[in-house]
Amino acid sequence: MGRYLIPLGVFLLLAVFLGVGLKLDPKKVPSPLVGKPAPEFKLARLREAQSTISHEDFKGKVSLLNVWATWCVSCRAEHGVLMELARADVVEIYGLNYKDVREDALRWLARYGDPYVDSAFDPDGRVGIDWGVYGTPETFVIDTDGIIRYKHIGPISAQDLQETILPLINELKSKRG
């Protein structure tokens, strides 16, 4: 009897490995920045080009940093969700306009709405590299101490928001009090 169990065991082991492999998305690379302070940066604002915005702006509240660009198709897809979230007024959403043209970005926000409390402008993507950005859209959840708690890769769906991001925001908010 035992000898028939061996091939069966081998098959089950293989099936488990292949099954796990199917579930993994190679496009989602875990960020080493989670649990670490937000990388330092200082960039011109998208709207008021003379003034600057920096990592210091995240301190003292829970915030999101959304990396986006007008050339990014899936950014358009998540835009509605971000607008929805901005209207709910539960968290401050910051924008990082990545490798884009200022006029295009401003036109885009005028047309589809601006969910961001403030936007940084990173035309050459240097700050993007410091944040480990490799594809837009990406969204970071930053806690009151300026520590990155979560990174979402790809467009945020309503489901992602409900099941992952909002509970995390609430948890981080309650910690403060």
Partner 1 sequence: MNVFYRLVFLLSVLLAGPAIAATNTYEFSSPDEEERFKQLTEELRCLVCQNQSLADSNAGLADDLRNEVYDMVREGGDKGEIVDFLVQRYGDFVLYRPPVKSSTAFLWFGPFLFLLVAGILVLRFVRNRPKKVAELEFSEADKQRVAEALRAAEQEKGAR
CB of 128 to partner 1, least distance (A): 8
CB closer to partner 1, 99 vs 102: 99
CB of 132 to partner 1, least distance (A): 4
CB 28 within 8 A of CB 138: no
Cα–Cα distance measured from residue 175 to residue 177, given in angstroms and rounded to the nearest whole number:
6
CB closer to partner 1, 98 vs 115: 98
Q: Give the residues lining the site for partner 1 (CB under 8 A).
A: 6, 26-27, 29-33, 39, 99, 124-126, 128-132, 134-135
CB closer to partner 1, 6 vs 110: 6
Cα–Cα distance measured from residue 15 to residue 1, given in angstroms and rounded to the nearest whole number:
22
CB of 90 to partner 1, least distance (A): 29
CB of 114 to partner 1, least distance (A): 25
Task: Say which residues have a Cβ less than 8 Å from residue 173's Cβ, sequence separation at least 6.
Answer: 62
Cα–Cα distances in angstroms (integers) from residue 2 to residues 8, 14, 148, in the given order: 10, 19, 52
CB of 63 to partner 1, least distance (A): 20
Q: Give me the residue label for tokens 């081998």.
A: 10
CB closer to partner 1, 126 vs 175: 126
Task: Map residue 22 onto helix, strand or coil.
Answer: helix
E strands of the chain, at which residues? 42-44, 52-54, 63-68, 92-98, 118-122, 138-142, 148-153
CB closer to partner 1, 60 vs 135: 135
